[in-house]
Each structure stands twice: as C-alpha cells, then as structure tokens.
Structure 1
C-alpha cells in the first residue's frame, strides 16, 4: 500500500498505515517512538548501544505498542531485514546525534526513503482536534541557545502565556505537544543536527544568534554547518531576527524564503536603528515592534534586571529573547518581569567558590571556542582549565584575543594538540600544564579523578586576585558523560580541596 506523506499534517490524520523506522532510543528517539505508537503506526526502533538502560527503554516501548526494538552494533549496519518491517519502511525518523553518513541513513537515502527529524514530525502532529495549537518561535546558534530559550520562556510566562522551552533545551518537543492542556507558545531551541533534517516548519519568529566553527566533523565542514543553521529562517511568518554584529546572519535572512509580510529584525548591543532592538545607555530598548519606530522606542528593561554587572553576552541574549517574544505580542512590562525572575542555567560562567582571594568559575557549558570567548572576556588574570573533544575547531583567534589575560593553562581531555599549538603560536610565555597526575594509578578516562588533580594544581599555582576558570572550549564526552557531569566534577573537586585544607566554614 502506498502512503502519501503529504497528507500526514495533523495528529488526527491516519497514521495507522505508516511503517516507521526510528533511529536511536535516547530521550528524543524514545519520545518519537512513543508518540508514533500512540498514533497507531507500525514502529521499529534501532540503537547501536545494547545497555541495561536501553533494554529497559525497549521493554517500555514494547508495552506501549512499538513492534520491534533492535539493539547492538549489528542493528545499525544498514536497513533492517524487510521481513522484520513488514516488507517496507515508509519513513525514517532519526535522532539528532545520528550523522548523515551513518550506514542506516545512507541506505535509506539510497532507497529513496524519506528521512525526518523529530522537529519535522512534531510540526506535522502539532494540530489536534479540540486542543489549542501552540505558536512556535525558533532559535539556533553556536552558543547561547539555552539561555535565550529559557529567558524567552520566563518573559512569555510573565505575560500569562502557557509557554515552554523545548527541543535541544531538554524537554522533548513531542512531550510538549502531547501535554493534555496544550500550550500557547513553544520556544523551540534547534541544534544544527535537528535543522539538517527539517523539511518544513513555519515559526512565527526565528533567529540565528551567532555562528562559529562547531560540529564540523558531523556536518563535513563549515559551509554545511552554516547551511543547516540558515534553514531556521525558511517560512518564518512574522520576524526573521538577525545578529547585526554578524553579517552572515543578515545574509541568511536576505536569502531566506519567508512568508509574505515577514520582517527582518536586527539585534545590536549598540544604539538600535529602526526595526532593531538594542541598547541606549543602560537600557534595553525596542525600535522594532511599535508603529512609530522612526522616532520612538519602548524601554524593555534595565541592565540591572540582568545582573550586576551585566555581561555583554547576557545583554545580547536578553535582547534576542525579547525580540522572539515581542514578535508574538509579549508586552515590555513582561520582558522586564521575566528577566527579573530568570534563574541563570548552571555551568555557564557560574561563580562556585571564592577563597584565599581566588575566584573559581564553572563554565563547563563552554563546549567550543566561541562559547569560551565570553568567559575569558569576563576575568583577568585567568588560570584556564581547557580541553576535551575539539570537533575540528580552531583555537588561534581565541588565544590571540585573550593572551594577555592568561596566567596559566591546565589541559584536560584527549584532543589537546589544537589548543597547545595555538598557545605556542600566540601566547608562548604562558605556562601549559599537561603532566599533573600525581596519582599514577588514575586512568585518564576517569574524569572525576583527573579533575581533582587539576583543581589541586590550580590551587597551588593561584595567587590572590586570580580566577580559576573551567571553560574547556571543547566537548566533554571523552572523559565525562556530558558538560553537566564535567561541571559537577569541578565543583565537587573544589569542595574536596576545601575540606583537605580545612578552610573555615567548610
């Protein structure tokens, strides 16, 4: 039986005749398979990791109606045997982390089987009879996505909207769509992986916050990475928002095929021109979402509503969040109220200790050079803890820009060579520490044990008024499960140090 995928554009469409292969049984893949089972589709799930956690997830999915779950490397070497899928696969829905060159996805493309991501699927089932349909605003960028998404959520909620940040931010978008009461607004944070597989969504507003080298191994180069990010502007309805300080984002807007009537809105941390949000003195102002923008501006918030002091990158993030929700009618008073109630995310330029007149800062969320740039710009002098999985990134510009702030560099992670080479080229006088494991029984892969040695070393070389900054500028998965675990290992190692030196009050 031939299935017309173009007819599957609401929850109430007939999904029961669809045969779907879901790749991945993590948070995203589980939510996709669970939703498809509820819709009555025939579902098979595959994942290369045969772990206890995945086996438990597989058992749960089978209970709710998933036809088959295959785990282990043999399950991901290509498309499954046709006998296991009823003779056909109508569509593959892939989890974001699966690279396009994965053998399963390559085989699907060769067989002309459509491949969707979870966001494409979510867009198709967003409408359901008898339930309110949420508006979408969408954001992406190399850095700052989660901060902007959660800021926008706080602003929208201050307006009284049922709003939630979803997607790459943590809550699977399909979980939000299945929420019984529905939402007024979904703030959809999108990674470049998710954008790669999108075919058609229509957000009310969209923004690319910034662009820097990241995930080049996944995308096969910076042009492909940039092209994936640019897809967020396609079919935007009200406001295509760009970073005025990064011309590439403006070019993306200019080249995007948006809905008739959509406006280009700029963000600047300087004085805004018409159709921009920006800064006047210590105020965040809006010259975009008002009728008389030629001669007037709305005051949205004060710097003190963000923090004291308010770092430049946080001012930008607040302006981006404000632009997204202003596009859907959130009032200036709610922008300010949302910023005042906003709780910053953990592991992002977070002061975690201050003793012996040395400040210790956790920026484990600095997973690439662009993210770490903001952290290095905030302190001076710095003992910088860096390294991990570089993902093909270059560190020359980062080191060149901040060389005068660096007192010493302690390297962790497996991919140290790119940072070492950049330091040797641009900051040859800065000491680099790589051989610091006093306990030779500690395995390098034991991130927590390594972090304890790193923290002890930083304590020995730190002087009053120094800042010890964990901002690795690299991914964490070589030594840690994720950046959260890396940041927690840092703070736990500091707590152990305080106990060891019998610091008063600990």
Structure 2
C-alpha cells in the first residue's frame, strides 16, 4: 500500500498540516493529532479532517487507520510510533509521502544529508542546477513542503533530508544522495550513533552515493552500501573522485582532471564549505550539469544566514554569526577558521560530549561567553583544558541576554580577534530557533557598536 485511505497525521505544524491537506485532496479520511490547538488545526477541521487536541495520545485513535504520517520530530520511542508498531501500522514522514505522491515524469531528486552543512550544500546545488537552465528548488528541511512540490514544475530538485526524515522512510530513493559528514548528534532521538548513521545511509537507496572520503565515519558507512560511490576529498583527487589541486576544485571522474573554480571563489569561507561545494558539484554532475555552470554558480552563490557569516568589523575586531552550529562538529568547523577567538557558546548539547571540542580549540581562545541550558558543561570543560581562560557564564533565560553577551565579548576582545557565535548546542532552551538566536546576537552587536560610535 503506497498511500492509504485512512491516515493519522501526528503533528500539525507546517509539514504535518501540508500532509493532511494533500491527503484530504486525495479523498482520504484523515485524523490529525496535536497537543495544541492552532489555526492550522481549525483550518484542517473545516476541510473535513477529524482533529484531536490532547496532551496524551490515545491509541484508540489508530482504530481503522492504515498509515501514520509522523512529523519528523517524533522519535521511534514516542508513544505514537510505539503504538503504530504494536498495531502493525506503517509509519513515515513528509518526504516519504512526497516521494509516494510522485507521478510519471516528476522531478528527479538529488538529496543531501549529514551532521552539518546540509543547507549550504543544498542551496549551492540548487544554484548549480538553476545556472544550468534546469527548473529547480531547494526543498526538504528548507523551503515549501515537499508534498506540495512533488509534482511541481521542476526538472530536478535539491532536497535536504535530516536523519529524522530518513529514519521515517522506506521507499524514498533519490537519483543520487550525499552524506557530507557524520558526528554524534541527536543521540537522544536515535538512541545511539550507529542508529543515527544507519538513518543517514538511507539517502543512498537510489543507487548512487556521494561520499566524503575525509570523514572516517562516512567511509565506514559507505562500505556497507551497494550504491555506486563517487568520493570527494580536500586532498588531490585520485581518478574517479572530486578534490582540490593547485588551489582549484577539481573533477577527476573523467579521463582527465577538470578545474571547476578556485578555492577562493567558495563562500562562506572555510575548508568545510569547500567540502560542501565539492559534494554539491558531485551531485550536480549526476544529472550532467556542466563544469562551467557549476563554477559560475559557486562564484555567484550568496551564503545562507547564520552560517559563519561576518556581521561587521569594528576597531579591529570581527564579529561572526555562526548560530547554525547546533552541535560540536559544526562549531569545530568555524573555530578552525579563525586564529584568535572570543567564543560565544551554549544551548542544548543533546547528550553530546563537548570535551574534545574544547580540548582542541581552547588554545585559540582569548575568552569565552557562555549561555543556555548546558553552559555549565562547557564551562567545566574549559576549566579542565584552559584554566586561565577568562570565561563569563551568563544566567539570562531569553534573547535579552545577548546584550550582555556582546558587552562581555567586546571587553575580552583585542584588535585582530574574532568574536564568534558558534554555540555547539541547539537553541530551543532560550530562542525560537537558531535563526532567532543569530538575529538576537546581530542586533546586540549593532546596538553595542552603534552605541560606541555615537
């Protein structure tokens, strides 16, 4: 059964509501469950969905249900997922439903997953496809819901997929899929690292795998795939690989190496983004996008916000917003990009150890300003590895704390330093999203510098 006639949709935010709308359009009987009432719930009820608002899920809601569409945030151990398993009911999430909705002639999917760099790579890929004259969009974890675009006016779409979304998939099989990197993240959701990595490997289900040869965990994962592997590396590529040679991104999958563009053309700066660009290029070549189009797209690419973006340089100090660094692996990429740093960090570590990150990068730090739920864990790590480092641990519980963050960081910074917001943790303890956190930081920096200049 590809799509059932009686479906429970769990969660009525953007993706869940979109799924319910599409299912209603198909004539399915739809039950929508959410813990909170909303305008979306009311609109779905007006369209004929049975909408149930309750703190606790009642398994009786599964009576007569053939399939369950779960919002990606629902982990395998959630009562709804467990109840579906016990009743033998198939469960999946919005990207899987979108895949099943595809009609003959629908757009091909090029998919991107990994611990970090997904949105940057996906939007780079979409830029390459567009430059080549293909009808495209960057979708998945970004953009409009996939279920609304499954049969849209596209030739190829660039799809960002999270480990959550891939876990809740079974038929989804992109033309090609890239795993950018793997580091411990979302272990509270998946249970352990092996389950997290296994979910990521589903992106290779279509038979063509783009693999980061510099990441041992990705290489180990790729040993278990039957897909055809194209590797990318920041080193000089061997035949069959993408890589870097003489300061250029290079495609060596043909008879001779082909230069794509200069390393200096890649934005945002940083070797991790060169790796992202190589992954995007490898995917674009899977649908025969030309090298000139790939290079032109990278030269014109405008970085997404909150990803190692310089806000301002003032009195010799550079202020950088990398709020998207929601885990230590992402923060490491930013910390590696600068020589002398005042680190602004903290949030929800999601069970991931930060000790290795601190041990490696504390020698580059002028000071640290810590906020958020797990700030004490980062402070303890800094005390172990850099006992003489100035550290400010702030107790504010909302975005107003950023004013003090900027002031404390400015007091620590010296000319030539970078004040880097790269939190290494999720944002939901204090902010609506990582974007809200980055915006609050940027506003505080503007307020501080404006005050200095006035």
**Match for residue 180 of structure 2 among 209, 222, 225:** 209
Query: Given that residues 149 and 169 in structure 1 are in contact (C-alpha distance below 8 angstroms), is that contact kept between their aligned partners in structure 2?
Result: no
Q: Distance in 2 between matches of 1:464 and 1:264?
A: 46
Query: Given that residues 42 and 67 in structure 1 are in contact (C-alpha distance below 8 angstroms), is that contact kept between their aligned partners in structure 2?
Result: yes
Unpaired segments of 5 or more residues in structure 2? none
Q: Distance in 2 between matches of 1:487 and 1:319?
A: 27
Unpaired segments of 5 or more residues in structure 1? 9-14, 438-443
Shift, 1:310, TM fit: 4.3
SS of corresponding position for 1:428:
coil
Q: Distance in 2 between matches of 1:91 and 1:163?
A: 30
**Match for residue 235 of structure 1 among 197, 201, 206:** 206
Which residue does 1:122 correspond to in 2? 98
- Give 1:258-277 correspondences, 5 Å limit: 258=227, 263-277=228-242
Query: Given that residues 235 and 257 in structure 1 are in contact (C-alpha distance below 8 angstroms), is that contact kept between their aligned partners in structure 2?
Result: no
Which residue does 1:69 correspond to in 2? 51
Shift, 1:41, TM fit: 0.8
Which residue does 2:146 correspond to in 1? 173
Shift, 1:298, TM fit: 1.6
Which residue does 1:458 correspond to in 2? 409
- Give 1:397-416 correspondences, 5 Å limit: 397-416=356-375
Q: Distance in 2 between matches of 1:67 and 1:330?
A: 43
Shift, 1:250, TM fit: 2.4
The question of 1:248 aligning with 2:209 is answered no
Which residue does 1:89 correspond to in 2? 65
Any idea what the Cα deviations from partners look like across 1:363-420, whole Å, max 9, x if unmatched?
1001000101111111121110100000011112211211211111111001123312
Query: Given that residues 233 and 253 in structure 1 are in contact (C-alpha distance below 8 angstroms), is that contact kept between their aligned partners in structure 2?
Result: no
Q: Distance in 1 between matches of 2:77 and 2:66?
A: 20
Q: Distance in 2 between matches of 1:305 and 1:461?
A: 33
Any idea what the Cα deviations from partners look like across 1:246-278, whole Å, max 9, x if unmatched?
1332232231243xxxx2111001100011000
Shift, 1:80, TM fit: 4.1
**Match for residue 43 of structure 2 among 57, 60, 63:** 60
Q: Distance in 1 between matches of 2:60 and 2:219?
A: 43
Measured on the aligned residues, the alpha-carbon RMSD in Å equals: 1.6
Q: How many aligned residue pairs are there?
A: 454
- Give 1:338-357 correspondences, 5 Å limit: 338-357=297-316
Which residue does 2:196 correspond to in 1? 225
Structure 1 stretch 476-485 or stretch 403-412: which is displaced more?
A: 403-412
Structure 1 stretch 358-367 or stretch 393-402: which is displaced more?
A: 393-402
Which residue does 1:187 correspond to in 2? 158
Shift, 1:178, TM fit: 4.6
Taking structure 2 as the reference length, the TM-score comes to 0.96
Higher Rg: 1
Query: Given that residues 176 and 206 in structure 2 are in contact (C-alpha distance below 8 angstroms), is that contact kept between their aligned partners in structure 1?
Result: no
Any idea what the Cα deviations from partners look like across 1:294-318, whole Å, max 9, x if unmatched?
xx112211223214x9421111111
Q: Distance in 2 between matches of 1:298 and 1:391?
A: 42
